């Protein structure tokens, strides 16, 4: 699975799943471009410092004319009883998970069109299709991501631009640190998954690599659970 001469933009590549995807694609020879608040360590990329809540005006001007893929990984984990959520909580989750992706894709759509075969990869969560208490805000935002995924897949298919999303369950990343802060929490989380463990960033990177590759060129409009069976098995 070669990414030689493929230009891939990864937004949110400084840690967790985004960093694992960058490491995986770097090993396959991709030309990487990263956009996030911190420079990814160990990644040979052209880096753009960007907070996804900020405007994109001029941000991507240094990118090449053609992009073969965009990966948008920023997310939030804001869990509490519904009555304790403020409207600002919902707005913040929506801005980071949805509007940041919209802004990045709109700013780079012309570059994707020039590739004659490109891929957009977004991230949802198992909590959208599997009702989970205390997930009202993030499930609302990620539900919008799933709608965006399918809408873009339909609209951009004629331009040979594919759009898919991965929907992970709990994954061992810095973002999930508070949920895995003790051995007891980690052990309990492992046992909740039919496969017997939580996810790793590399689990998601392996699936991402397929969806971004030429081998995945007939896959579009899909939301794929990478969740240790959490979303479908009891």
Residue 73 has pLDDT above 90, yes or no: yes
Q: What angle do CA 142, 217, 220 make, to 5 degrees?
A: 30
**Of 184, 198, 204, 189, residue with least CA distance to 25:** 204
211 located within any domain? yes
pLDDT higher than threshold 80 for residue 72: yes
Query: According to the model, what pLDDT value does residue 196 have?
Result: 96
**Distance of CA 91 to CAs 35, 88, 95, 137, 173, Å?**
22, 5, 6, 9, 23
- pLDDT at position 170, please? 94
Residues 125-145: tens digit of each pLDDT: 999 999 999 999 999 999 999
Residues 77, 133: contact at Cβ < 8 Å? no
Put the strands of the sheet holding 31-36 in their side by side order: 45-49, 31-36, 7-11, 69-72, 118-123, 161-168, 223-226
Portion of the chain with pLDDT greater than 90, in percent: 93
- Indicate whether 177 pLDDT > 90: no
- Convert the pLDDT of each residue in 205-214 to its tens digit: 999 999 999 9
Mean per-residue pLDDT, 217-229: 97
Whether residue 2 lies inside any domain: the answer is: no
Q: What is the arithmetic mean of pLDDT over 73-83? A: 96
Asked, for residue 109, whether it belongs to a domain, the answer is: yes
Structural domain contains residue 199: yes
Residue 231 maps to a domain:
no
Give the CATH number of the domain where residue 141 resides. 3.40.50.720
Q: Considering only CA atoms, which of 30, 44, 43, 33 is closest in space to residue 11?
A: 33
Query: In this structure, is residue 233 part of a structural domain?
Result: no
Q: What is the model's pLDDT at position 92?
A: 98
Give whole-number Cα distances, 37 to 14, 15, 93, 105, in Å.
8, 11, 17, 18
Region 188-211 average pLDDT: 96
113, part of any domain: yes
Whole-number average pLDDT of the chain: 96
The answer to whether residue 137 is domain-embedded is yes
pTM exceeds cut of 0.85: yes
Containing structural domain, residue 168: 7-226
Asked if pLDDT for residue 1 goes beyond 80, the answer is no
Looking at the 3D structure of the chain, how many domains does it have? Answer: 1
Q: What is the pLDDT of residues 97-120, one digit of tens each?
A: 999 999 999 999 999 999 999 999
pLDDT of 179 reads 85
């Amino acid at each position: 699975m070669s990414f030689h001469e493929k230009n891939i933009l990864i937004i949110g590549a400084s840690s967790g799943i985004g960093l694992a995807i960058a490491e995986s694609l770097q090993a396959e020879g991709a030309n990487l471009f990263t956009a996030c608040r911190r420079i990814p360590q160990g990644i040979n990329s052209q880096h753009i410092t960007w907070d996804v809540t900020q405007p994109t005006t001029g941000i991507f001007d240094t990118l090449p004319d053609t992009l073969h893929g965009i990966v948008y990984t920023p997310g939030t984990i804001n869990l509490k009883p519904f009555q304790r959520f403020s409207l600002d909580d919902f707005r913040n989750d929506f801005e980071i998970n949805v509007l940041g992706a919209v802004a990045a894709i709109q700013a780079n759509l012309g570059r994707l069109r020039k590739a004659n075969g490109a891929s957009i990869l977004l991230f949802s969560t198992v909590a959208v299709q599997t009702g989970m208490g205390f997930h009202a805000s993030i499930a609302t935002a990620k539900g919008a991501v799933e709608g965006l995924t399918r809408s873009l897949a339909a609209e951009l298919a004629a331009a040979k631009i594919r759009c898919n999303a991965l929907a992970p369950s709990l994954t061992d990343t810095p973002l999930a640190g508070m949920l895995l802060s003790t051995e007891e929490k980690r052990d309990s989380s492992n046992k909740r998954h039919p496969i017997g463990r939580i996810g790793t960033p590399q689990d998601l990177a392996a699936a991402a690599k397929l969806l971004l590759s030429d081998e995945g060129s007939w896959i579009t409009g899909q939301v794929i659970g990478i969740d240790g069976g959490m979303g479908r098995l009891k």
